[in-house]
Structure 1
């Protein structure tokens, strides 16, 4: 797959099994922050819990169903981006997270801009979708800065531990890319 620089201090790289401990530590150090928005956080309780997850990510890659990349800032793992393909519709959906300490630096926006260029170019994707929790205003700012259009609200679109969350659906078409 790939590993490439998206800025002077930012790079994206395919996640591999040897990174299980590093990925777990990122999640564990940001557990309270991530748990507000992501259902899977409580399922990652140890490094061993990461092994089947990374295997699944690598199987998705091998089957051309998607991929997951690490976001590195100055060499440190600070976040992740996941991409899932819908080849029948030439579409992709993107999910992402970043460490609490790395928020507000534009790292996700810069990383996604490069990845979006890859998806529209190298992968010939026509439509990219991002869904954000309605209460996660920081996350919503990312697709908005990247020119995504707000399509609407997926009411009670996610059950998060003990309550439902509305999701905001954003999309960007290849011919809308700036």
Structure 2
């Protein structure tokens, strides 16, 4: 499956150790933008932090517990898309994503998430895909809404972001709904 060409502009491929510098540089350039919704930004202060992240997600992949992909737009790393967790007992994948601010508004992440959902249902034979986003993170919430997910509820104070809690909105898609 990977690398996977979403379209003539977008390619998804697993992050490898050689991507650490470009991942760090992308994070660093978008630090203020990403920090609003991502709790790990302040702890990513050097290339080695990105390398450790890549090694961690490679281990999750080897253990069949997750999958993290680089999202490449016209050959440039633009962000990350992942199954943060795959719950094989319940056949559920939990999707997470981020895109650097310079790549926003081009349909990159919506099309990439659509491809990862197809992979979850067709190749992995999972039953459910779950996407959670902070209540006020309208850009992140727009993706599952655009893709026809069901808004299933709100989890109060679900995540600590630096100095405050944020609520999460839970979106779900079932395999039977997606194939329609």
Same fold (TM over 0.5): yes
Runs of 4 or more off by more than 3 Å in structure 1?
none
Q: Distance in 2 between matches of 1:115 and 1:4?
A: 10
**May I ask how many residue pairs the two structures share in their alignment?**
178
2:36 is matched with 36
* Mapped pair 1:121 → 2:115: no
**Which residue of 2 is the match for residue 87 of structure 1?**
88
Aligned alpha-carbon RMSD (Å): 0.9
Unaligned residue ranges in structure 2 (runs of 5+):
none
- Quote the residue 2:168 is aligned against: 167
Matching residue of 1:70: 70
Q: TM-score, normalised by structure 2?
A: 0.97
Deviation at 1:154, TM superposition (A): 0.6
Matched residue of 1:89: which SS?
A: coil
Distance 1:143 1:38 in 2: 18
What runs of 5+ residues in structure 1 fail to find an aligned partner?
none
What does 1:4-153 align with in structure 2 at a 5 Å threshold? Answer: 4-83=4-83, 84-153=85-154
Q: Which moved more, 1:49-58 or 1:160-169?
A: 49-58
> Aligned partners of 2:32 and 2:82: how far apart in 1?
20
Shift of 1:50: 1.6
Work out the CA distance in 1 between the residues paired with 2:126 and 2:41.
Answer: 29
Give 1:20 shift. Answer: 0.3
- Residues of 1 paired with 2:23 and 2:177: CA distance? 34
